[in-house]
Structure 1
Amino acid sequence: MLAKEEPFMDCKHEKYQRLIARCQALTPVPTAVAHPCDETSLKGVVEAAELNILQPILVGPRAKIETTAAHFPLDISGYEIVDVPHSHAAADEAVRLAREGKAEMLMKGSLHTDELMGAVVRTATGLRTERRISHAFIMDVPSLDRPIIVTDAAINIFPTLEDKIHIVQNAIDLARALGLEQPKVAILSAMETVNPKIQSTVEAAALCKMADRKQIVGGILDGPLALDNAINLAAAQIKKIDSPVAGLADILVVPDLEAGNMLAKSLSFLADADAAGIVLGARVPIILTSRADSVTTRLASCAVAALVAQARRESASKAVAP
């Protein structure tokens, strides 16, 4: 659905709209929504449910949720409400529902991200797996013919090489869930040559060799690459970079959170891009939306998570098939 062979349409949100349309053909995904107690978070849930992307389980103070719905107004009469006293309890209960398999996705409502993620990463009761948890932005940049995944710009501050193995694999699995059979992964740095004085270039080379040895699977890696060489084919050709990734990257792996945060915000505020966010590496995909997100971006975040949940369901079915 998101392969680059599709004709490019110069229309803001076009890539997201195709993504949302694809989800509408699937079964709505049971989703535990932690503390949806303001207009933005509750409206996003209702809109996604009305498009059959998700089946909400609203977790929070019942009176506050119902008051919010009545005030704006939003029809939540068909949704299950799990009554808990406050946001901390909502995070814990939403995580429990996901842990017990009653919800296949987790969604942040009107509570702090730290509250929700604190419950997610808790050792005894959280949603950790053998993977490092990481964040990815699926960015709709109007001037590009494809969505771009930027990782990690929100969770791992100074990721180690070992962390980056998981960050890259999480992003590859995400891209494959979105329809890219073999996504092209650019490991970004300030230059396209390995320089022992710049650690990110050394780690980029190591990650590429790991992919050669099948320690990272499902994608085509190259790096280090500077940003222009990663996304602009002409820039790569001028520098005579012989690479199947240069100029054609689907995934941009940044050196650290600061670089990723600045890249994502630069695309948003200087290139008019939208950024749908998802947390990967946990037992279920986690939808993190911002109060500043547009309606389409909130729906796209839900759609991305739903496609990841669908891919996991299909993978589990194949694993148990005789």
Structure 2
Amino acid sequence: MTTFKNTPYDQIEVGMEAKHERICAVDDFYISAHASGNLNPLHLPKEDRDGEDSGNYEGVAPSLWVASLISAVLGNQLPGPGTLYKSQNLRFLGRAYEGDRLISTVTVTEKLPDYVVKLATTVQCANGQMIVEGEAEVIAPRTSKVSKGVKLPGLTVRSHEHFDRLLDLARPLPPLITAVVVPEDRKSLGGALLAAENTLIEPILIGSKANILDAADRLGKDLAHCEIIDVAGHKQAAAKAVAMVREGKAQAIMKGQLHTDILLSQIVKRDKGLRTDSRLSHVFVMDVPGLDNLLFITDAAINIAPDLEAKVDIVQNAIYLAQALGLQQPKVGILSAVETVNTKIPSTMDAAILSKMAERGQIKGGIVDGPLAMDNAIDVDAAVTKGITSLVAGRAEVLVVPNMESGNMLAKELAFVAHAEVCGVVMGAQCPVILTSRADDDKARLMSCAVALLYAASQKA
């Protein structure tokens, strides 16, 4: 741990100097925005700082953040631990940007009574450009002190740039005509209307008209431009949505305030449902802070304990969705508790067979490997440590779980512990099925619609 030694008042001499260097990082700008509340887009690198879609996204370092680097020298070096500010004046002469190496300097200019010290203060770029200059008055410590420093808690700047990219891709597309089944509460109706406002879907609201209008009143929304089909029961509403897709009047289905099994029971009907040759499966799409790619998890919502035949469809469905979202050849990791085949662990046997089926072309479009444990599926160092040589190990973009329980726990751990943003759709039907949870927030519902739209567009293409 770093130690800091101060210079007490009686040892300070005019002309003493101390310096500190720091690289400007994007995360600093976001932390400054959080701490100060200053949301000026000039200081946020991912915002268009000139407006009018100029495409200029280079963030300017907040001036007071740059000036705050002076306090690091005063508090840690000269005078050091025990110093308190009395005053500071500043003149801003230039601007700093992401990647600039900044040098903050303090120089003692005068000693005053009552332990007060005046110092000239500057911050400049490594190339000599002056950014800030000024003068500080501080109350210097009276006695010598060595500080071991403080072990600060770590900070994670959470960004979800992968979801932002998907939204940017989806918004220009024609909206998906979507049968929204029983949007009779604020969350399900609000999510559908938010997606409509973002031009992702054109909602047809199916359910009790009175309940839908009541939910709209509670949201403060006007449904004058929405088609509402008044259907009393949940089962009847789900059947109506399925019929509209079969008749070509809707292109997708979105779950509202009804049980999943009621909706799916209508979708899987042999005669009047939306079955295809593939089994239905759910795919979570996750934007996990720190990962360089989207992460897909399947199946964590529909197939409780899938057998090998079901897993073939689960894997293939996930590959198709990953391709629709921009992964040309998704890397698919078949998860188990261990990374070796063990006849006492059936999921390792399934994983090995699925891998071989992909090699032989029975599963298409992705690179499939397994069994893999969670650590060596997504962490290269863990894979190397275990001696696993694979194009997938440490780089998996799609995770296929052994059963619904493990998948559901994994997805919710990533959402609630790792702060991932989550959305998902049901694959394997004649149209995308947007299967939202009661716990989903507006962003999750919005992104589920964006994913459905991108998948539908890829199928047309």
TM-score w.r.t. length of structure 2: 0.65
Answer yes or no: is 1:283 the counterpart of 2:430: yes
User: Offset at 1:248?
Assistant: 0.7
Q: Deviations over 1:217-248 (max 9, x none)?
A: 00001111110000011111111211000111
Q: Is the 8 A contact 1:190 1:226 kept in 2?
A: yes
**C-alpha separation between the residues in 2 aligned to 1:258 and 1:68?**
33
Following superposition of structure 1 onto structure 2, how do residues 237-248 of structure 1 map, counting pairs within 5 Å? 237-248=384-395
User: Offset at 1:160?
Assistant: 0.6
**C-alpha separation between the residues in 2 aligned to 1:218 and 1:33?**
31
Question: Given the alignment, which residue of 285, 300, 313 partners 1:153?
Answer: 300
Give the number of equivalent residue pairs: 306
- The 3-state SS of whatever aligns with 1:187 is strand
Q: Is the 8 A contact 1:185 1:245 kept in 2?
A: yes
- The 3-state SS of whatever aligns with 1:221 is strand
Match of 1:250 in 2: 397
Instruction: For 2:200, give the aligned amino acid.
Output: I
Instruction: For 1:196, give the aligned amino acid.
Output: T
**C-alpha separation between the residues in 2 aligned to 1:268 and 1:285?**
23
Q: Whose helix fraction is larger, Structure 1's or Structure 2's?
A: 1
Following superposition of structure 1 onto structure 2, how do residues 133-212 of structure 1 map, counting pairs within 5 Å? 133-212=280-359
Match of 1:236 in 2: 383
**C-alpha separation between the residues in 2 aligned to 1:39 and 1:266?**
26
Higher RCO, Cα 8 Å, sep 6+: 1
**C-alpha separation between the residues in 1 aligned to 2:289 and 2:436?**
20
User: Offset at 1:213?
Assistant: 1.0
Answer yes or no: is 1:62 the counterpart of 2:209: yes
Instruction: For 2:336, give the aligned amino acid.
Output: S
Answer yes or no: is 1:97 the counterpart of 2:225: no
Match of 2:179 in 1: 32
Q: Whose strand fraction is larger, Structure 1's or Structure 2's?
A: 2
- The 3-state SS of whatever aligns with 1:49 is helix
User: Offset at 1:182?
Assistant: 0.3
Following superposition of structure 1 onto structure 2, how do residues 14-29 of structure 1 map, counting pairs within 5 Å? 14-29=161-176
User: Offset at 1:211?
Assistant: 0.7
**C-alpha separation between the residues in 2 aligned to 1:64 and 1:199?**
48
Answer yes or no: is 1:215 the counterpart of 2:362: yes
**C-alpha separation between the residues in 2 aligned to 1:269 and 1:65?**
30
The range that moved more, 167-176 or 17-26, is 17-26
Q: Is the 8 A contact 1:16 1:297 kept in 2?
A: no
Instruction: For 2:256, give the aligned amino acid.
Output: G
Structure having the higher Rg: 2
Q: Is the 8 A contact 2:299 2:400 kept in 1?
A: yes
Match of 1:318 in 2: none
**C-alpha separation between the residues in 2 aligned to 1:96 and 1:311?**
23
TM-score w.r.t. length of structure 1: 0.92
RMSD across aligned C-alpha pairs, in angstroms? 1.3
- The 3-state SS of whatever aligns with 1:123 is coil
**C-alpha separation between the residues in 2 aligned to 1:140 and 1:151?**
15
Q: Deviations over 1:61-106 (max 9, x none)?
A: 2222122212321122111111212222111101111122211110
User: Offset at 1:259?
Assistant: 1.2
Give the gaps of 5 or more residues in structure 1: 1-8, 315-322
Match of 2:228 in 1: 81
- The 3-state SS of whatever aligns with 2:163 is helix
**C-alpha separation between the residues in 2 aligned to 1:132 and 1:10?**
39
Instruction: For 1:64, give the aligned amino acid.
Output: N
Q: Is the 8 A contact 1:33 1:108 kept in 2?
A: yes
Following superposition of structure 1 onto structure 2, how do residues 110-121 of structure 1 map, counting pairs within 5 Å? 110-121=257-268
Q: Is the 8 A contact 1:137 1:276 kept in 2?
A: yes
Answer yes or no: is 1:309 the counterpart of 2:439: no
Identity across aligned pairs (percent)? 54
Match of 2:100 in 1: none
Match of 2:255 in 1: 108
**C-alpha separation between the residues in 2 aligned to 1:265 and 1:47?**
24
Q: Is the 8 A contact 1:230 1:249 kept in 2?
A: yes
Match of 1:319 in 2: none
The range that moved more, 263-272 or 209-218, is 263-272
- The 3-state SS of whatever aligns with 2:399 is strand
Instruction: For 1:69, give the aligned amino acid.
Output: A
Q: Is the 8 A contact 1:169 1:217 kept in 2?
A: yes
Match of 1:5 in 2: none
User: Offset at 1:269?
Assistant: 2.0
Match of 1:296 in 2: 443
- The 3-state SS of whatever aligns with 1:186 is strand
Q: Is the 8 A contact 1:228 1:235 kept in 2?
A: yes
The range that moved more, 279-288 or 15-24, is 15-24
User: Offset at 1:311?
Assistant: 1.1
Q: Is the 8 A contact 1:10 1:143 kept in 2?
A: no
- The 3-state SS of whatever aligns with 1:190 is coil
Match of 2:193 in 1: 46
- The 3-state SS of whatever aligns with 1:81 is strand
